[in-house]
């Protein structure tokens, strides 16, 4: 299908609209107040990563002089950069209003976020002492008039740009000329101290909080007491740098050394965004832009008083549990006891884990069990992202010390987790674990584990395949599926995947798994074509997909074709969606929703056919070109009837959400799914927790 006008939504614009849905959560008065503030933090963190990766890519296309319309879904690169900047400025303006509203509402709960000019006498002594003892010893202050070159500003660090106007007597005494009456400085806000300083509760019984930035502002006289100045102003600035890795081609270096060097070089990446306090003095801004060699063509965005608002995710709760989400204690999996042997249970049937509704402890328990099981001879696992304090790594080291043959495929190019993965890779190597660094030219993004156990002189395999990372921290807030299985056919295929990491010049064949980059795309096309044929033959035909992102134009075209022939297509897409639904003659049988709520929707789920005889896969692969063609991904079929029904139930619960679901349409308005008074409210994440809790009672 040739490219047509209005056939696709631009990927970058679609991503910004996903982040707008995150901002909607911050605006939603039904969301607890502290959680609203934390959604602002998520919104801000998302935006930082967007500029580091996506914006920088478009900027490179523009700088190279490429036209880019085909690769940028109808936009010229320079035109898209302007469009992005315009959207971001509007969203930032919305976010400032939300923050101000939240801080006003805090007052009703006796929480007051104050500035340096609102400090009372009781708080003054505390702030002065706190500054001298905690902040001043680690503060980096750059006097810009006294250094030869402008300091290199760290990516995503925040700085106070300070202007000091010297006292007139001081100027005369040192014969300072009129043009030199101003001194500029930069103060780097330290990250080793909490961004929010909780002040002692005073006689009024109110709780006061200050930004670390404002504590520094309050202590300007202490900081610059050697200068005789008449006035001082301090406004925040921030640089975001290109985060693309430029991997050294020196064949003499090991891959881990190349990635380590590239991660270090990232700190020197070109600026892609300059954000400043919109109230900064014009002369200060002009001075900074000139010294930093930032051009008007660069992304220069006026912001609020505070940057790095991702820190709002760590705003202290101050004992106000009523201002946070109600706790959802992770549930057990029906029939699978954490106190018993998981391998014994899996030998009898498959089990499905759905985090965070159910406990991620099952994954850790599985690895802990096999680490000490004398019959287990080998463990193979793929790792993409890990928790900073990983129980997974501990279990694998434990297994190696117990004589197991442990192989870990760890992806060193997991964006923004490179340093963490390098650290774990070196630790595993020191402990005798065999560490594999993937396939040349491909990221290994699949989430799999394979165990070989000697039973009655035969090798028996067990394992699990997941849609998400083996990360204890994110498993508390990301929804994901993990299938525990002893299915011989599936695990034989998984064994071939691990062999492919070692012998990647041979492409294996698989009977059960769909493995990128060789088989995922053709098999998905085949499954879509089967539904198209059903529709043409007058049979019921249906496709249901739940993924994080849908941007692969070839797959979108296949879905358009399915719609044209009468296939009902239901899509739950959390983030990027380049498909335009509901267009007569192209996509009138396609509907797309996006659910954004307290948990991050993360499973990849493919369902082809009706409920009578469905073909169901859980997968690590989104429907993006990179997942289909440039990564090792695994899509796993679900054969167990009970688990099939469970997955169908969870999809339908999410599909019927009329509280946190938004309609995805061409106008990108993020309109909430409408419900009537007769329709009961369905908040899918709450209902899913109830669904699994009810299972345990049956």
SS3 651: helix
Per-residue pLDDT reduced to its tens digit, 416-434: 778 888 899 999 999 999 9
At 516, the pLDDT band (50, 70, 90 cuts) reads very high
Which parts of 539-639 fold into alpha helices (H)?
Answer: 553-564, 625-629
Q: Is pLDDT at 247 greater than 50 in this prediction? A: no
Average pLDDT over the chain, rounded to whole? 90
Report the pLDDT value the prediction gives residue 250, as an integer from 0 to 100.
Answer: 45
Q: Is 391 among the catalytic positions?
A: no
Q: Is pLDDT at 655 greater than 60 in this prediction? A: yes
SS3 687: helix
Report the pLDDT value the prediction gives residue 1, as an integer from 0 to 100.
Answer: 38
Report the pLDDT value the prediction gives residue 240, as an integer from 0 to 100.
Answer: 85
Residue 559 and residue 384: Cα distance in Å, rounded?
30
Residue 377 and residue 615: Cα distance in Å, rounded?
34
SS3 196: strand
Share of the chain above pLDDT 90, in %: 74
Nearest Cα residue to 525 out of 562, 580, 493: 562
Report the pLDDT value the prediction gives residue 236, as an integer from 0 to 100.
Answer: 94
Residue 264 and residue 243: Cα distance in Å, rounded?
11
Q: Is pLDDT at 23 greater than 60 in this prediction? A: yes
Residue 280 neighbours by CB under 8 Å, 6+ apart: 161, 235, 237
Q: Which residue has the higher pLDDT, 698 or 403?
A: 403
At 294, the pLDDT band (50, 70, 90 cuts) reads confident
Which parts of 613-683 fold into alpha helices (H)?
Answer: 625-629, 641-655
Q: In the chain, what are the domains?
A: 1-104 (1.20.58.310), 110-246+272-313 (3.30.1840.10), 342-512 (3.30.870.10), 515-697 (3.30.870.10)
Which of 100-104, 166-170, 211-215, 520-524 is least confident? 166-170
By CB atoms closer than 10 A (0-12, 13-18, 19+), residue 313 is middle
Residue 149 and residue 353: Cα distance in Å, rounded?
56
Per the listing, tokens 């300072």 go with 176
Per-residue pLDDT reduced to its tens digit, 604-643: 999 999 998 899 999 999 999 999 999 999 999 999 999 9
Report the pLDDT value the prediction gives residue 155, as an integer from 0 to 100.
Answer: 82
Residue 661 and residue 406: Cα distance in Å, rounded?
43
At 204, the pLDDT band (50, 70, 90 cuts) reads confident
Report the pLDDT value the prediction gives residue 272, as an integer from 0 to 100.
Answer: 81
SS3 271: strand
Report the pLDDT value the prediction gives residue 126, as an integer from 0 to 100.
Answer: 95
Nearest Cα residue to 524 out of 543, 508, 511, 501: 543
At 588, the pLDDT band (50, 70, 90 cuts) reads very high
Residue 379 and residue 435: Cα distance in Å, rounded?
12
Q: Is pLDDT at 176 greater than 90 in this prediction? A: no
- Average pLDDT of span 228-252: 74
DSSP notation for 210-230: EEHHHHHHHTHHHHTTTS-EE
Q: Which of 142-146, 168-172, 389-393 has the highest mean pLDDT?
A: 389-393
Per-residue pLDDT reduced to its tens digit, 94-108: 999 999 999 999 999
At 67, the pLDDT band (50, 70, 90 cuts) reads low
Nearest Cα residue to 54 out of 16, 18, 93: 16
Report the pLDDT value the prediction gives residue 58, as an integer from 0 to 100.
Answer: 86
Token digits of residue 262: 């590239």
Geometric angle at alpha carbon 677, from 671 and 678, rounded to 5°: 115
- Average pLDDT of span 41-69: 82
Widest Cα–Cα separation across the chain: 96
> Residue 360: is the preceding peptide bond cis (ω within 30°)?
no
Q: Is pLDDT at 172 greater than 80 in this prediction? A: no
Residue 494 and residue 449: Cα distance in Å, rounded?
8
- Average pLDDT of span 251-256: 52
Q: Which residue has the higher pLDDT, 421 or 531?
A: 531
Report the pLDDT value the prediction gives residue 260, as an integer from 0 to 100.
Answer: 58
The one catalytic residue among 235, 354, 391, 445: 445
Within 13 A of 423's CA, how many CA atoms are on the CB side?
11
Helices 33-50 & 77-106 angle (0-180, nearest 10): 160
Residue 338 and residue 340: Cα distance in Å, rounded?
6
């Amino acid at each position: 299908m040739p490219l047509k006008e209005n056939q696709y939504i631009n990927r970058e614009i679609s991503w910004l609209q996903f982040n707008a849905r995150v901002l909607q959560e911050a605006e939603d008065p039904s969301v607890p107040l502290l959680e609203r503030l934390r959604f602002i933090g998520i919104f801000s963190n998302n935006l930082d990563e967007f500029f580091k990766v996506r914006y920088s890519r478009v900027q490179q296309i523009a700088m190279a002089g490429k036209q880019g319309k085909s690769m940028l879904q109808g936009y010229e690169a320079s035109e898209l950069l302007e469009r992005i900047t315009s959207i971001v400025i509007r969203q930032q303006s919305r976010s400032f209003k939300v923050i101000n509203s939240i801080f006003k509402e805090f007052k009703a709960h006796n929480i007051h976020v104050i500035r340096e000019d609102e400090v009372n006498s009781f708080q003054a002594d505390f702030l002065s002492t706190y500054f001298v003892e905690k902040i001043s010893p680690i503060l980096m202050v750059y006097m810009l008039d006294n250094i030869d070159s402008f300091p290199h500003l760290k990516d995503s660090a925040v700085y106070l740009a300070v202007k000091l106007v010297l006292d007139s007597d001081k100027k005369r005494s040192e014969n300072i000329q009129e043009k030199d009456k101003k001194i500029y400085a930069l103060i780097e806000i330290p990250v080793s101290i909490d961004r929010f300083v909780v002040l002692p509760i005073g006689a009024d019984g109110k709780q006061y909080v200050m930004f670390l930035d404002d504590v520094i502002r309050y202590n300007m006289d202490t900081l610059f007491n050697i200068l005789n100045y008449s006035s001082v102003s301090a406004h925040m600035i921030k640089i975001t740098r290109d985060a693309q890795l430029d991997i050294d081609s020196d064949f003499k270096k090991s891959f881990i050394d190349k990635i380590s060097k590239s991660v270090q070089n990232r700190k020197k990446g070109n600026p892609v965004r300059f954000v400043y306090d919109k109230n900064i003095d014009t002369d200060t801004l002009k001075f900074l832009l000139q010294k930093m060699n930032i051009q008007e063509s660069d992304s220069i965005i006026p912001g609020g008083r505070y940057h790095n608002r991702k820190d709002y995710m760590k705003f202290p709760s101050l004992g106000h549990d009523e201002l946070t989400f109600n706790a959802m204690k992770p549930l057990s999996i029906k029939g699978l006891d954490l106190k018993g042997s998981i391998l014994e249970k899996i030998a009898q049937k498959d089990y499905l884990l759905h985090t965070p509704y159910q406990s991620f402890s099952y994954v850790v328990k599985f690895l802990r069990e096999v680490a000490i099981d004398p019959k287990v001879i080998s463990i193979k696992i793929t790792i993409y992202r890990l928790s900073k304090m990983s129980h997974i790594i501990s279990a694998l080291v434990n297994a190696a010390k117990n004589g197991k043959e442990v192989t870990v495929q760890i992806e060193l190019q997991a964006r923004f987790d490179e340093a963490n993965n390098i650290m774990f890779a070196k630790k595993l190597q020191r402990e005798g674990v065999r560490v594999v660094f993937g396939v040349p030219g491909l990221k290994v993004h699949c989430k799999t584990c394979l165990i070989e156990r000697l039973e009655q002189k035969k090798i028996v395999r067990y394992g699990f395949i997941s849609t998400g990372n083996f990360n204890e921290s994110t498993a508390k807030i990301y929804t994901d599926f993990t299938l525990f299985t002893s299915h011989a056919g599936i695990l034989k295929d998984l064994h071939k995947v691990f062999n492919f990491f070692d012998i990647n010049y041979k492409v294996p064949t698989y009977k059960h798994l769909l493995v990128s980059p060789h088989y995922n795309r053709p098999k998905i096309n085949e499954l879509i074509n089967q539904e198209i044929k059903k529709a043409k033959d007058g049979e019921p035909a249906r496709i249901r997909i739940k993924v994080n992102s849908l941007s692969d134009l070839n797959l979108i075209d296949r879905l358009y074709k399915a719609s044209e022939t009468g296939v009902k297509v239901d899509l739950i897409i959390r983030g990027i969606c380049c498909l335009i639904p509901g267009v007569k003659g192209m996509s009138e049988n396609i509907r797309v929703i996006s659910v954004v709520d307290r948990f991050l929707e993360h499973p990849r789920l493919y369902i082809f056919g009706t409920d009578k005889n469905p073909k169901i896969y859980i997968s690590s692969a989104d429907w993006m070109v990179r997942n289909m063609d440039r990564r090792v991904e695994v899509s796993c079929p679900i054969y167990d009837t009970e688990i099939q029904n469970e997955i169908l139930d969870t999809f339908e619960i999410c599909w019927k959400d009329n509280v946190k679901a938004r309609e995805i349409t061409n106008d990108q308005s993020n309109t909430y799914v409408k419900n009537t008074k007769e329709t009961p409210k369905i908040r899918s994440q709450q209902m899913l927790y109830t669904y699994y809790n009810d299972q345990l009672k049956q």
